[in-house]
Amino acid sequence: MAILFSSTVDSATRWRSEIERLMPEREFRIWPEIGDPAAIDYAIVWRPPRGLLASLPKLQLILSLGAGVDHLLSDPQLPRGVPVVRLVDPCLSAAMSEFVALGVLRLHRHDLDYLAQQRLGTWLERPQKNAAERPVGILGFGTIGEDAGGKLRALGFPVAGWSRSAKSVPGFATYSGPDGLAALLAGSEIIVCLLPLTGATVGILNARMFAQLPRGAGLVNAGRGGHLVDADLIAALDAGQLSGAVLDVFNTEPLPPEHPFWRHPRILVTPHIAGITNPASAAPIMAEAIRRFEAGLPVAHTVDPARGY
Ligand code: NDP
Ligand code: OXD
């Protein structure tokens, strides 16, 4: 029984030692050294080469190294009958929440302006609202959205969340479905995107959405680059409809050197590091999923391919 590991992130050695410690009876193979494809039962993957999973005739379970599974569901050759499990790791959620809190605070505290002032040697105090006067709207009020929302609330921000299905979460204003979106946008001075990338959410951060936000609103996108229409963001920032954006994910990654986001004075760029999967906390979750699967028990966080997340 072999486990195949394939990732675009350089973490194979750490994964090998974690999985071999937790499941010493398994053979751990690292792509491209896959050996006999028919001996592979499980695949632990992040952005695997297209068609790789389809080439494994005995594959039983696909485990995503990320919370998002768009990197798998977008593969036209993904073996349809094989369940996909996404990563839900409290440490990953906590890391994402740190990034979101940092991004929201940077926008709230006029960091872009003070960075520009520092470059010019300008000593100038800007008017500062209280956190309680800066409502934050979270698009994607799921595992990570709720965790981030709790931390923002602890900092004093009023937080509203938007999800696909209606939900009630004590302490938060909640909205759902296309009808709920307009109300959330109208009341949010900072919008945080933590949505999965699906057919329904692709391009959702666009000119129409930005126009529904209060003038001067800020954006934090840690969902996926495919949520954002790049040209619409630049236009909204240049027109002052938005005042700043903190971006971790991009339509093309790595962000091409010539992309205007790199040099835009109202944009902060990070290289998809908001939530980095840590083998120390994630490997036990994968091992538990495999054990439950083999015992015929339900495996938590199995993806619904029709829903797309
Ligand atoms: P969840 O599945 O737990 O939450 C997703 C949320 O989005 C749910 O609330 C869901 O609604 C909502 N949603 C989905 N589709 C729609 C829609 N069409 N309209 C409104 N709401 C919708 O996922 P996670 O919180 O674990 O992860 C979210 C995303 O964060 C990942 O898919 C990934 O893209 C991104 N991510 C980015 C990382 C980074 O490093 N930048 C790291 C980790 C994750 P409902 O509750 O009704 O299902
Ligand atoms: C994820 C990611 O989905 O790192 O976990 O983007």
195-243 confidence digits (pLDDT tens) = 999 999 999 999 999 999 999 999 999 999 999 999 999 999 999 999 9
Q: Give the mean model confidence (pLDDT) for residues 31-46.
A: 98
Average pLDDT, the chain: 98
pLDDT at site 1:
84
**Residue 218: which residues within 8 A CB-CB, separation 6 or more?**
104, 107, 108, 189, 190, 191, 242, 243, 244, 245, 246
pLDDT at site 233:
99
Residue nearest to atom 1 of ligand 2 (CA): 66
Q: Give the mean model confidence (pLDDT) for residues 31-48.
A: 97
Determine whether the shortest distance from the Cβ of 274 to ligand 1 is under 6 A. Answer: yes
CA 51 to centroid of ligand 2, rounded, Å: 21
CA 206 to chain centre: 18
Dist CA 184 CA 173 (whole Å): 9
The packing angle between helices 90-108 and 111-120, to 10°, is 60
pLDDT tens digits, 248-284: 999 999 999 999 999 999 999 999 999 999 999 999 9
Q: Give the mean model confidence (pLDDT) for residues 295-303.
A: 98
Architecture in CATH of 90-269: 3-Layer(aba) Sandwich (3.40)
Residue nearest to atom 2 of ligand 2 (CA): 66
Dist CA 255 CA 275 (whole Å): 17
CA 190 to centroid of ligand 2, rounded, Å: 22
Substitution candidate for ligand 2 out of 85, 92, 144, 253 with most atoms within 8 A of CB: 92
Q: What percent of the chain has pLDDT over 90?
A: 100
Dist CA 136 CA 141 (whole Å): 12
pLDDT at site 36:
97
CATH superfamily placement of domain 2-88+277-294:
NAD(P)-binding Rossmann-like Domain (3.40.50.720)
Q: Residue 106 phi/psi, 5° resolution?
A: -65, -40
- Hey, which residues are catalytic here? 224, 272
CA 80 to centroid of ligand 2, rounded, Å: 22
Dist CA 62 CA 64 (whole Å): 6
pLDDT tens digits, 100-156: 999 999 999 999 999 999 999 999 999 999 999 999 999 999 999 999 999 999 999
Ligand nearest, relative to CA of residue 300: 1
Dmax over Cα atoms in the chain, in whole Å?
67
Substitution candidate for ligand 2 out of 89, 277, 278, 286 with most atoms within 8 A of CB: 277
Determine whether the shortest distance from the Cβ of 143 to ligand 1 is under 6 A. Answer: yes
pLDDT at site 186:
97
Q: Give the mean model confidence (pLDDT) for residues 45-62.
A: 97
Domain locations in the chain as residue ranges: 2-88+277-294, 90-269
Determine whether the shortest distance from the Cβ of 309 to ligand 1 is under 6 A. Answer: yes
Give the ligand 2 atom nearest the CA of 68: 3
Which of 93, 52, 149, 29 lies closest to 301 in space, CA to CA? 93
CA 161 to centroid of ligand 1, rounded, Å: 11
pLDDT at site 299:
98
Kindly report whether the global pTM for this prediction surpasses the value 0.95. Answer: yes
